[in-house]
């Protein structure tokens, strides 16, 4: 089957099998790999195991170790810091299944973290275990696997609190049937939450106490960010089967530099202050701008990624809000971009689309 996007455990099945084969360290109950091997899967080993998350080893170790305890893991960070990405890979490596997923929104109903009913059966047969439709969390409990909750803080607080029993008692009462579903060993939960959403539905302290929080940082240096972007752009291009393009490192560097300077409010050399636009300009957005640019270069250009292929994407990412963002962008363009002799082509391309 040609799916548009494979789950991590499918895409990296070979690497996971390789790790499992040589893994002689102790595995927590219900885990497919030892914590050590999970960490190697996530960070790569410089050989056949490719790096997925690029960042501090200790951070990943803390995240993995947490999942081997009775506390759940909360990945916190600004948008685009790979919270979702890391959560998927952890679930794939630990449980072999990253699909037990609840997407948190303001409209997430309690059934999404507990259970619902198949109404046809419920009406025909009355409440029975067969008429019950388990949520991903309930299935994770039954199978002894990891459940994932995306954007935990966006869910209404009563829905969040429905998780407390699952996390503290490791059971889910089903009063309609007079029974409780109990978690098998291996069950735990990874939640992600966005720093910027704080206050939307602040976690209750009862729930917060059940989580260890790991904060994912934005890449520390430009070089690190260029590395992340280059790797992901290459992978994405391959999986989208974009025609072969020379993904010039110069363009990747340029996009990352523009994003970092606008984000941090100062130029790389520390000499010029610039204003920051309203958008986040995350690593993830840099990846999208470049992937879009490659599609342009491949289908409408000469197969070489050039300034003109990324300019429109950059302007689109920076100018989110037509009023003030446009002013911020104009100023950056005229005071920073224009002054860099090696950025002439880029300046011209931006002027055309700004
Ligand atoms: N440190 C990193 N290592 C590897 N990939 C990264 C890193 N930072 C960002 N990425 C890439 O950025 C993309 C977006 O990440 P992801 O969607 O997981 O972000 P997020 O933190 O969940 O954002 P949001 O808060 O918007 O949901 C992924 O494709 C991921 O590969
Ligand atoms: Mg996310």
Listing DSSP states for 299-311 in one string gives HHSSSB--HHHHH
**CA-79 nearest atom, ligand 1:** 25
pLDDT tens, position by position, 31-70: 999 999 999 999 999 999 999 999 999 999 999 999 999 9
- At residue 200, the pLDDT reads 59
Instruction: Name the CATH code of domain 8-215 (choices 3.40.50.300, 3.50.50.60, 3.30.1300.10, 2.60.120.10).
Output: 3.40.50.300
Give the pLDDT score at 302: 85
- 181's tokens: 């579903």
**Helix H or strand E segment including 132:** strand 132-134
- Condensed to tens digits (0 to 9), the pLDDT of residues 185-239 reads 999 999 999 877 665 567 888 899 999 999 999 999 999 999 999 989 988 888 7
Q: What is the dihedral of CA 95, 100, 105, 106, to 10 degrees?
A: -110
Spacing, Cα 86 to ligand 1 middle (Å): 8
Across the chain, mean pLDDT equals 93
Range from 17-26, 156-165, 193-202 carrying the lowest mean pLDDT: 193-202
**CA 18/CA 132 separation, integer angstroms:** 38
Does the beta carbon of 81 lie inside 6 Å of ligand 1? Answer: yes
Ligand nearest to the CA of 88: 1
pTM of the model as a whole:
0.92
Instruction: Say what the pLDDT of residue 247 is.
Output: 66
Ligand 2 center from residue 76 Cα (angstroms): 10
Tell me what pLDDT residue 248 has: 79
* CB of 85 sitting under 6 A from ligand 1: yes
């Amino acid at each position: 089957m040609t799916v548009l996007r494979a789950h991590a455990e499918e895409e990296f099945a070979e690497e996971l099998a390789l790790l499992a084969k040589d893994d002689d360290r102790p595995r927590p109950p219900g885990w497919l790999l030892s914590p050590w091997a999970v960490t190697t899967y996530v960070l790569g080993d410089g050989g056949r195991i490719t790096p997925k998350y690029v960042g501090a080893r200790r951070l990943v170790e803390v995240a993995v170790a947490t999942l081997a305890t009775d506390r759940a893991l909360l990945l916190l960070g600004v948008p685009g810091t790979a919270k979702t990405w890391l959560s998927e890979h952890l679930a794939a490596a630990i449980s072999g299944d990253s699909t037990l997923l609840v997407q948190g929104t303001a409209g997430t109903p309690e059934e999404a973290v507990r259970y619902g009913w198949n109404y046809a059966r419920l009406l025909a047969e009355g409440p029975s275990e067969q008429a019950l439709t388990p949520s991903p969390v309930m299935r994770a409990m039954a199978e002894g696997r990891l459940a994932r909750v995306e954007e935990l803080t966006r869910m209404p607080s009563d829905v969040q609190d429905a998780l407390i029993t699952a996390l503290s008692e490791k059971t889910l009462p089903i009063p309609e049937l007079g029974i409780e579903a109990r978690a098998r060993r291996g069950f735990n939960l990874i939640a992600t939450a966005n720093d910027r959403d704080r206050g939307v539905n602040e976690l209750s302290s009862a729930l917060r106490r059940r989580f260890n929080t790991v904060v994912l940082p934005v890449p520390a240096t430009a070089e690190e960010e260029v590395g992340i972007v280059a790797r992901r752009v290459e992978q994405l291009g391959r999986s989208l089967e974009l025609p072969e393009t020379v993904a010039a490192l110069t363009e990747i560097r340029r996009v990352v530099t523009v994003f970092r300077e606008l984000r941090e409010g100062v130029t790389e050399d520390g000499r010029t202050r610039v204003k920051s636009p309203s958008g986040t300009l995350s690593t993830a957005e840099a990846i999208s701008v470049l992937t879009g640019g490659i599609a342009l270069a491949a289908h409408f250009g000469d197969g070489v990624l050039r300034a003109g292929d990324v300019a429109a994407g950059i302007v689109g990412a920076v100018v989110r809000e037509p009023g003030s963002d446009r002013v911020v962008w104009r100023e950056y363009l005229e005071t920073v971009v224009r002054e860099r002799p090696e950025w002439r082509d880029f300046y011209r391309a931006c002027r055309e689309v700004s």
